Amino acid sequence: MIENSMFEEEPDIVDLAKEPCLHPLEPDEVEYEPRSSRLLVRGLGEHEMDDDEEDYESSAKLLGMSFMNRSSSLRNSMSVYRQSSNGSCSLPSTRTMVVCTVILVIAVALIMVIYLLPKCIFTKEGCHKKNHTMELIYPLATNGKLFPWAKIRLPSDVVPLHYDLVLQPNLTSLKFSGSVKIVVNIIRVTWKIVLHSSGLNITKATITSAGGHQEKPAELLEYPLHDQIAVMAPEALLAGQNYTVNIAYSSNLSDTCYGFYKVSYKDENSRQRCFAATQFEPVAARSAFPCFDEPAFKATFLIKIRRDEKLSTLSNMPKKATIPVTNGIVQDEFFVSLKMSTYLVAFVVADLKNISRETNGSLVSVYAIPQHINQVEYALNTSVKLLEFYQNYFLINYPLEKLDLVAIPDFQSGAMENWGLITFRESSLLFNSRTSSARDKKLITAVIAHELAHQWFGNLVTMEWWNDLWLNEGFATFMEYFAMEEIFPELHSDEDFLNLIFKAMMKDSLNSSHPVSSAVQSSEQIEEMFDALSYIKGASLLLMLKHYLTKDVFQAGIEVYLHNHNYGCAQSDDLWDSMNEITNGTLDVKKLMKTWIVQKGFPLVSVVRKGKIISVKQEKYLYLVEPENWTSDESYLWHIPLTYITSSCNFTHCTNAYLLDQKSAVIELPEEVEWIKFNVDMNGYYIVHYGEDWKTLIDLLKKNHTALSPKDRANLINNIFSLAGLGKESLEKAFELIDYLNKESSTAPLTQALFQLSLIYNLLEKKGEQQLAARLMHRIECLLGDKIDQQSWTDDGALSQRELRSTLLAFACTHDIRNCRTTATEMFEKWMNSNGTMSLPSDVMKAIFTAGAKSSDGWDFLLKMYSSSVSEAEKSKMIEALASTEDVRKLIWLMQNSLEGEVIRTQELSHIIATVSQSLPGYLLAWDFVKENWEKLTRKFHLGSYMIQNIISWSTSQFSTKAHLVEVKSFFESKSEQSSQLHSVKEAIDTIQLNIQWMERNLAMLQELL
């Protein structure tokens, strides 16, 4: 739709029919751009309207404006009704009446034609059928010429088949040069090849036909707003033919951990060193080489990298040959890759060491900088086990001859699944037996499991477009926890997954949530898809489906999906169709799962028990942050695979199932029961309200809490506190339910209770209700004090016991409960007096460091040890402790230094802001820091990136006043439209509104309860 505001700036008018010098333009190439960056061409584009009604409305506005402009001078010079000298109106003449009548009839007829004529769009040539080509609107290229494409997505008339890429990075000048030859196939006759390029200085562009050897110079047009270039052919490119596009270019190595970027680190002699690495997902391959940078444009790649002979290189494929180029420079050539998307291309130029092991014909290697090579053995052993498990489960072998896992010293995300060359943040791959805790081991295992699962889900079969990112990330997350349960049951990873689901549901319950599969176009929108909903909600929906279909049917469906789409792309429906091949008509998986994928949020299931009759009802779970603007969500309906156990049989094999595919239903039990618990082990993505039966379940926990599994107990704690926040249950009842905790010994329910109580404590503390917060902490101490006292300051016990110890002692020391801080401070002082040589128990190291950082001397010593430590696990705990100080000047220094990345790595910034924002002295500082450095932050991390999402969320999550709500809204509204429209900004505003609502609803109740 063309907005009227476009006419305010009087844009140039170009009639394509009168411009023979312009390259011919194909149909279906129109998209409206911001008026500051486009040129107006008369007419409307055929795909610009969402429906016929919008077409008519747009045409009517244009015609109406034209009519008004033409008639305005007439109205100024002549009046239909003439006023007499005495101020009264004289009657119009007969001629005037006739003219007016004719004009009125014409106007009415015109309006009726525009609004009532079906399938017709009016232009200056008259009525066109909607599917006919019309004159189009195109933007301007950087040279002032017309750029022949206006959409964010690339045209489909040209597809890449193969890339020959040559790169030469210079780690001294921090620049790189490159050339790429792209073999393309022409689907439809065209004069242009449109592809992506970002920040590249292109010096040459030519085209060669398949049968010819002569490179023909081609005109190059650039449109930076969409990161696009157009190679304009000197002659028509014929359908069915292959051509080679040759492009030479240069650029700077990025300083943002994005694209082809510089990595800095200190070697074993404390000398500053650097190397180059890549991070292309989702849209940064275009900043390293011109390419068709969309996941569906899969191709093969031949990569050659020129480097200093003292360094080494890695890429997706094994190295084929190394040849000398000039004095001190050699070129590494790698074997041609499998067919893959551009975001999976990767290369590293560095000085690294490795250890390797072969499994099933593939060589698995783990690489690190030399001083960290003694910390990679656990990762290698874990990778081999996981690779073997996935090959057996999917019945498809890993297709490459090698798999490299590389620890990168400065890496923004946790890891990246590049095919054959997986890159990791060091803390996600390196395991130090002396300083890595039980939780560190679990994290490393989980990240490796996730990235290896991607070698099938994402690499072998790729989502067609970023709207279905969950097919990659949801599946990899699901397989990560499933594989860990199967191979490493002692890690109890299912409990971690449970807590992640609870947090994802908090996000999904907000007005600002989005469906798992959401339409996206811009790079910011694509970046924002990398969130808890794509990862955790996507994974939890697969978990729910697996339990409903049974594990064997689910596994068979996955095998069909992978076999049907290997080396290709898929959409969500392709997965459901594969599942339906196995269910064979007994269940329509597509119909069931579409209710979860295309709708945002999740259901609240209300349960009423009367004798043997169980009435269940579903509605959308939603916080009403603005009730006056709320409209009914009656249209929301999920097909919910309900599960339940009862007092008559509460073992796993006694789980009952019922598909609730209507608003309400009745379940009849074979006999009356004492209690019923729905959503067994939280395997379903919904919350349950038990009404009067909450009292029954509270009594059950008090008398015999082990009648329910630990996950079921955690599920009840989460649900009742969530319902209290929603206003559907009282906070008093929620506190009554957790009174049993003094008998609890399992990690999952204790962790969930601490999480819920910490949320309340933080709100009270930041609201200025310190006395009430202290009373809440006393209540927690009464519940868990004995449990805290029982913890030893060692690394003894099973892994689950060790993890619980870490959680309880870290909480106790942070809030100065019992003697925790005294004990921790004594241990810290002994460690400091030994100049850091004394060994500390890894599971309680964070608690010890946090206590030590309370003093100025302790903080300074911890910072010095951070700079010299070679253990990433130890450094991570040190950073959190340093950010826990109450010294405001130190907090400011820490955040600022991390942004600069000199002493503290930039990758730690979101972690630091998260920790600072939790404390009373720091929560306003964190927000002030974000405001003052917003432009720097968005240059460093990109709008929409997961890092920016976290920074926005953490820096605002503690606010619960209307003044802060106004401040946050005003700040983002004062920034660019892209900033104010971020999902994470809307989520932050929703969260503050909820905090305000929660305090208004529950403050008085808390004063009575505590």
Q: Are 657 and 642 in contact (CB under 8 A)?
A: yes
Q: Are 866 and 879 in contact (CB under 8 A)?
A: yes
The answer on pLDDT for 102 being more than 70 is no
pLDDT for residue 103: 65
The three-state secondary structure class of 384 is helix
Instruction: Tell me how far apart the alpha carbons of residues 992 and 957 are, in angstroms, rounded to a whole number.
Output: 7
Give me the phi and psi of 941, to 5 degrees please: -115, -5
Instruction: Tell me how far apart the alpha carbons of residues 193 and 189 are, in angstroms, rounded to a whole number.
Output: 11
The answer on pLDDT for 79 being more than 70 is no
Enzyme catalytic residues: 451
836: left (phi over 0), alpha (psi -120 to 50) or beta: left
Task: State the DSSP code for 762.
Answer: H
Polymer length of the chain: 1010
Instruction: Tell me how far apart the alpha carbons of residues 952 and 354 are, in angstroms, rounded to a whole number.
Output: 38
The structure tokens 């500082």 sit at 925
The answer on pLDDT for 649 being more than 50 is yes
Q: Which residues contact 585 (CB under 8 A, 6 or more apart)?
A: none
Q: Nearest to residue 158, comparing CAs of 174, 182, 128, 131?
A: 182
Please tell me which residue, 53 or 235, carries the higher pLDDT value: 235
pLDDT for residue 1010: 87
The answer on pLDDT for 582 being more than 50 is yes
Q: Give kind and range of the element (H or E) at residue 997.
A: helix 983-1009
The structure tokens 């009604």 sit at 53
Give me the phi and psi of 727, to 5 degrees please: 90, 10
pLDDT for residue 7: 28
**The token pair that represents 497 in the structure block:** 């997954």
Query: 378-394: per-residue pLDDT in tens?
Result: 999 999 999 999 999 99
HSE, side-chain direction, 13 A CA sphere, residue 673: 21
Give me the phi and psi of 818, to 5 degrees please: 55, -140
The structure tokens 């500390």 sit at 840
Instruction: Tell me how far apart the alpha carbons of residues 683 and 546 are, in angstroms, rounded to a whole number.
Output: 9
Range of weakest confidence among 84-88, 514-518, 896-900, 933-937: 84-88
Q: Give kind and range of the element (H or E) at residue 739.
A: none
pLDDT for residue 650: 66
Partner residues linked to 368 by β-bridges? 353
pLDDT for residue 979: 87
pLDDT for residue 135: 52
Please tell me which residue, 224 or 36, carries the higher pLDDT value: 224
Identity at 617, one-letter amino acid code: K
Instruction: Tell me how far apart the alpha carbons of residues 944 and 524 are, in angstroms, rounded to a whole number.
Output: 5
The answer on pLDDT for 111 being more than 70 is no
Confidence of residue 268 (pLDDT cuts 50, 70, 90): confident
Residue-wise DSSP of 488-535: -GGG-HHHHHHHHHHHHHHHHTSTT---SS----SHHHHHHTSSHIII
Q: Are 528 and 949 in contact (CB under 8 A)?
A: yes
Residue-wise DSSP of 267-335: -TTS-EEEEEEEE-TTTTGGGTS-B--STT--BEEEEEEEEETTSEEEESS-EEEEEEEETTEEEEEEP
The answer on pLDDT for 32 being more than 90 is no
The structure tokens 């240059």 sit at 939
The answer on pLDDT for 863 being more than 60 is yes
Please tell me which residue, 366 or 49, carries the higher pLDDT value: 366
Instruction: Tell me how far apart the alpha carbons of residues 702 and 693 are, in angstroms, rounded to a whole number.
Output: 14
Q: Which residues contact 369 (CB under 8 A, 6 or more apart)?
A: 265, 267, 350, 351, 352, 353, 407, 409
Instruction: Tell me how far apart the alpha carbons of residues 393 and 483 are, in angstroms, rounded to a whole number.
Output: 10
Determine what percent of the chain falls in helix, strand and coil, rounding each to the nearest 5: 45, 20, 30
The structure tokens 């312009």 sit at 22
The answer on pLDDT for 270 being more than 90 is no
pTM of the model: 0.87
Confidence of residue 96 (pLDDT cuts 50, 70, 90): low
Instruction: Tell me how far apart the alpha carbons of residues 211 and 66 are, in angstroms, rounded to a whole number.
Output: 53
**The token pair that represents 843 in the structure block:** 């599971």
Q: Are 411 and 279 in contact (CB under 8 A)?
A: yes
Instruction: Tell me how far apart the alpha carbons of residues 209 and 236 are, in angstroms, rounded to a whole number.
Output: 11
Q: Nearest to residue 455, comparing CAs of 328, 574, 560, 364?
A: 364
- The mean pLDDT value of the chain amounts to 87
**The token pair that represents 406 in the structure block:** 């590389």
Partner residues linked to 321 by β-bridges? 333
Query: 532-553: per-residue pLDDT in tens?
Result: 999 999 999 999 999 999 999 9
Q: Nearest to residue 292, comparing CAs of 223, 179, 193, 222?
A: 193
The answer on pLDDT for 795 being more than 50 is yes
Instruction: Tell me how far apart the alpha carbons of residues 339 and 345 are, in angstroms, rounded to a whole number.
Output: 11
Range of weakest confidence among 53-62, 98-107, 739-748: 53-62
Identity at 153, one-letter amino acid code: R
Residue 794 CA to its chain's centroid (Å): 37
pLDDT for residue 956: 97
Q: How far is CA 393 from CA 271, 453, 471, 478, in A?
A: 46, 11, 18, 14
Instruction: Tell me how far apart the alpha carbons of residues 298 and 958 are, in angstroms, rounded to a whole number.
Output: 44
Query: 615-637: per-residue pLDDT in tens?
Result: 999 999 988 655 444 445 678 99
HSE, side-chain direction, 13 A CA sphere, residue 785: 11
The answer on pLDDT for 469 being more than 60 is yes
Burial class from Cβ neighbours inside 10 Å (0-12, 13-18, 19+) for residue 795 reads: middle
Query: 277-290: per-residue pLDDT in tens?
Result: 999 999 999 999 99
User: pLDDT exceeding 90 applies to what percent of the chain?
Assistant: 80
Q: Nearest to residue 438, comparing CAs of 498, 499, 378?
A: 378
Residue 841: CB atoms within 10 A of its CB come to: 19
pLDDT for residue 281: 97
Instruction: Tell me how far apart the alpha carbons of residues 228 and 249 are, in angstroms, rounded to a whole number.
Output: 15
Instruction: Tell me how far apart the alpha carbons of residues 218 and 441 are, in angstroms, rounded to a whole number.
Output: 55
The answer on pLDDT for 65 being more than 50 is no
Q: Nearest to residue 685, comparing CAs of 485, 502, 482?
A: 502
The structure tokens 């028509």 sit at 236
How open is the CA angle 543-548-550, to the nearest 5 degrees? 90
Pairing of strands 415-416, 421-425: antiparallel
**The token pair that represents 650 in the structure block:** 């509460």
